[in-house]
């Protein structure tokens, strides 16, 4: 699907450059979205939307000027290009190189546009019935399906002319367990870079039951004690620890401004020998994958840390110019209303050689973080605070009892140094990451790991 012709793109780019700048870029987007949510078996909200627009950026060295316009008519595009040119002012004028046209992405097997709300409703009712059937204490079940089909064209004055299609779908179910005045929740929310064939590949019943079991476990849990302990962190969403505590600090958005604890440390040891960390946007069908980034650079596999040594940062065009490094295919944006910045895609700790049960047995007293919740981090200092959704207290190498209300507190540079065991099986979990270029889909992941020492927050006494 061509959003504009090459000849018109050249005209728009020349207009954007008419008052100076060394590179002009057009980002055109046409996105269709659908969502449906269910609350206790009854439809709650249904919505469909279509977003079309263009963003125009003109670069002048390490500065840029950005404008955008809703709509994809030639008039809309030229108006945005004119505004970008006016923002530049005066300067030497660069030409537009001949385009090399490339198409990325593939059509989904079962497009979301063909699914219909009847299909969405049927899937969510299956989830509701499965979650409710686990136990009478499951009093409320909420579910939702959100899908999008994004078509983009990125072209610039250096000859990039790249199309990409990005179909995504995400399923979520949340179960609420009650016992008297106590209420606890459990949730699952897988997603993929696919159409509705995604639902042929997952087990909605098993996932919904998993959410209910988590809520029931927390209902019987005691408050977690506070202190400094060894902590075993499970795979999947446990990878949010690395994403937040270290990943953002490795983006040139932070590094190029001197706002990262890892500035100037390429080639230096920053983590345990056990740690190899990767950001890979090329993984087939994964939630965070992109065939081409939002500057038109093909996505790639980036080894960030190899056996504890910092190997690479994640760069966009501005960050690469500031630092004099290569592009890594990491420029991302929420939509055409945002200029791109360096962002993660699928970020994970690579598999190690340690056994999962061996990690539990190795802990005299400490915490097993089975599932992680939200958190926050300061990229400059690396200080973080993360909630543990479901935790278990370990004593004498065995899981003693479930605990709740736990949090993990520390610094990213310290936690990755203290990882002393890494399991054999990496798993990924879908999430949404917010930053200066908006909210984008990302995967986080890791094998089960053991951190030898970390501050655990909680309100309880030791069991």
Whether pLDDT at 106 is above 90: no
Domains of the chain: 6-219 (3.30.2290.10), 222-457 (no CATH)
Predicted pLDDT at 146: 98
Confidence of residue 2 (pLDDT cuts 50, 70, 90): low
Other CB atoms closer than 10 Å to residue 76's CB: what's the count?
17
**Residue found by looking up tokens 């579910």 in the block:** 143
Residues β-bridged to residue 169: 147, 192
Whether pLDDT at 163 is above 70: yes
User: In angstroms, rounded to a whole number, what is the distance separating the alpha carbons of residues 125 and 109?
Assistant: 23
When pLDDT is averaged across residues 220-233 and rounded to a whole number, the result is 96
What's the residue count for the chain?
Answer: 463
The DSSP annotation for 191-245 comes to EESSSGGGGGTS-HHHHHHHHHHHHHHHHTPEEPB-EEEEEEE-SGGGGHHHIII
Q: What SS3 class is residue 117?
A: helix
Structure tokens given for 351: 């598999």
Closest CA to 308 of 149, 175, 417: 417
**Alpha-carbon dihedral angle through residues 280, 282, 283, 287, given to the nearest 10 degrees:** 80
Going by the DSSP 8-state scheme, the letter that residue 285 receives in this structure is: T
Question: Under a CB-based contact definition with an 8 Å cutoff, are residues 264 and 252 in contact?
Answer: no
Whether pLDDT at 254 is above 90: yes
Going by the DSSP 8-state scheme, the letter that residue 247 receives in this structure is: I
Confidence of residue 382 (pLDDT cuts 50, 70, 90): confident
- Which distant-in-sequence residues (6+ apart) come within 8 Å of 402 by Cβ? 217, 218, 220, 221, 222, 390, 391, 392, 393
Whether pLDDT at 413 is above 90: no
Going by the DSSP 8-state scheme, the letter that residue 396 receives in this structure is: T
When pLDDT is averaged across residues 434-459 and rounded to a whole number, the result is 96
The values of phi and psi at residue 123, to 5°, are -65, -45
Predicted pLDDT at 245: 83
When pLDDT is averaged across residues 413-424 and rounded to a whole number, the result is 95
Structure tokens given for 413: 């540079």
The DSSP annotation for 349-381 comes to EPP-SB-HHHHHHT-SEEEEEEEEEEEEE-TTT
What percent of the chain lies above the pLDDT cut of 70?
Answer: 100
Predicted pLDDT at 239: 87
Q: Give just the sign of the alpha carbon dihedral 7, 9, 11, 17.
A: negative
Predicted pLDDT at 1: 54
Closest CA to 32 of 52, 54, 50: 50
Rg value, the chain, Cα? 24
pLDDT per residue over 335-381, tens digit each?
999 999 999 999 999 999 999 999 999 999 999 999 998 777 777 77
Other CB atoms closer than 10 Å to residue 57's CB: what's the count?
24
Going by the DSSP 8-state scheme, the letter that residue 297 receives in this structure is: P
Whether pLDDT at 91 is above 90: no
Predicted pLDDT at 164: 96
The values of phi and psi at residue 172, to 5°, are -140, 140
When pLDDT is averaged across residues 297-317 and rounded to a whole number, the result is 98
pLDDT per residue over 176-189, tens digit each?
999 988 999 999 99
What percent of the chain lies above the pLDDT cut of 90?
Answer: 89
pLDDT per residue over 6-40, tens digit each?
999 999 999 999 999 999 999 999 999 999 999 99
Whether pLDDT at 303 is above 70: yes
Predicted pLDDT at 241: 86
Which DSSP helix (H) or strand (E) runs through 12?
helix 6-16
Predicted pLDDT at 94: 86
Question: Under a CB-based contact definition with an 8 Å cutoff, are residues 309 and 334 in contact?
Answer: no
pLDDT per residue over 214-224, tens digit each?
999 999 999 99
User: In angstroms, rounded to a whole number, what is the distance separating the alpha carbons of residues 130 and 124?
Assistant: 10
User: In angstroms, rounded to a whole number, what is the distance separating the alpha carbons of residues 89 and 106?
Assistant: 41
User: In angstroms, rounded to a whole number, what is the distance separating the alpha carbons of residues 92 and 276?
Assistant: 45
Confidence of residue 48 (pLDDT cuts 50, 70, 90): very high
Question: Under a CB-based contact definition with an 8 Å cutoff, are residues 89 and 71 in contact?
Answer: no
When pLDDT is averaged across residues 89-115 and rounded to a whole number, the result is 90
Whether pLDDT at 75 is above 90: yes
Predicted pLDDT at 454: 95
User: In angstroms, rounded to a whole number, what is the distance separating the alpha carbons of residues 336 and 33?
Assistant: 15
Mean pLDDT of the chain: 95
User: In angstroms, rounded to a whole number, what is the distance separating the alpha carbons of residues 271 and 452?
Assistant: 13
Decide: pTM greater than 0.85. yes
User: In angstroms, rounded to a whole number, what is the distance separating the alpha carbons of residues 206 and 188?
Assistant: 10
**Residue found by looking up tokens 């604890």 in the block:** 261
């Amino acid at each position: 699907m061509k959003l504009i012709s090459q000849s018109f793109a050249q005209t728009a780019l020349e207009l954007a450059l008419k008052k100076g700048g060394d590179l002009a870029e057009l980002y055109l987007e046409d996105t269709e979205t659908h969502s449906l949510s269910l609350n206790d078996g009854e439809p709650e909200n249904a919505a469909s939307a279509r977003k079309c627009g263009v963003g125009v950026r003109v670069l002048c060295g390490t500065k840029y000027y950005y404008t955008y316009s809703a709509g994809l008519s030639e008039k809309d595009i030229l108006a945005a290009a004119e505004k970008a040119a006016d923002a530049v002012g005066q300067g030497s004028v660069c030409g537009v190189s001949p385009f090399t046209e490339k198409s990325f992405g593939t059509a989904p097997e079962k497009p979301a546009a063909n699914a219909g709300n009847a299909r969405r409703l049927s899937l969510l009712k299956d989830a509701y019935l499965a979650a409710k059937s686990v136990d009478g204490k499951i009093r409320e079940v909420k579910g939702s399906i959100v899908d999008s089909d994004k078509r983009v064209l990125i072209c610039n004055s250096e000859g990039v002319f790249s199309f990409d299609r990005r179909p995504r779908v995400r399923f979520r179910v949340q179960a609420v367990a009650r016992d008297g005045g106590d209420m606890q929740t459990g949730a699952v929310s897988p997603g993929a870079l696919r159409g509705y064939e995604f639902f042929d590949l997952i087990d909605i019943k098993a996932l919904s039951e998993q959410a209910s079991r988590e809520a029931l476990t927390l209902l019987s849990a005691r408050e977690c004690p506070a202190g400094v302990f060894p902590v075993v962190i499970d795979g999947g969403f446990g990878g949010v620890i690395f994403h937040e505590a270290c990943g953002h600090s490795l983006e040139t958005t932070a590094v190029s401004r001197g706002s990262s604890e890892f500035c100037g440390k390429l080639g230096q040891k920053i983590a345990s020998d056990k740690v190899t960390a990767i950001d890979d946007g090329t993984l087939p069908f994964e939630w965070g994958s992109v065939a081409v980034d939002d500057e038109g650079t093909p996505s790639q596999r980036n080894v960030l840390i190899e056996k504890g040594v910092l190997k690479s940062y994640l760069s966009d065009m501005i960050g690469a110019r500031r630092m004099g490094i290569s592009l890594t295919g990491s420029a991302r944006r929420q939509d055409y209303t945002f200029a791109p910045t360096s962002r993660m895609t699928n970020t994970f700790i690579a598999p190690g050689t340690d056994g999962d049960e061996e990690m539990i047995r190795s802990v005299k007293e400490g915490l097993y973080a089975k599932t992680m919740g939200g958190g926050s981090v300061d990229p400059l200092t690396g200080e973080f605070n993360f909630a543990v959704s479901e935790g278990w207290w370990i004593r004498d190498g065995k899981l003693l009892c479930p605990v709740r209300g736990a949090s993990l507190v520390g610094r990213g540079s310290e936690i990755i140094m203290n990882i002393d065991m890494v399991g054999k099986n990496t798993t990924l979990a879908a999430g949404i990451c917010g930053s200066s270029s908006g909210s984008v889909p990302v995967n986080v992941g890791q094998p089960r790991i053991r951190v030898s020492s970390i501050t655990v927050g909680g309100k309880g006494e030791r069991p």
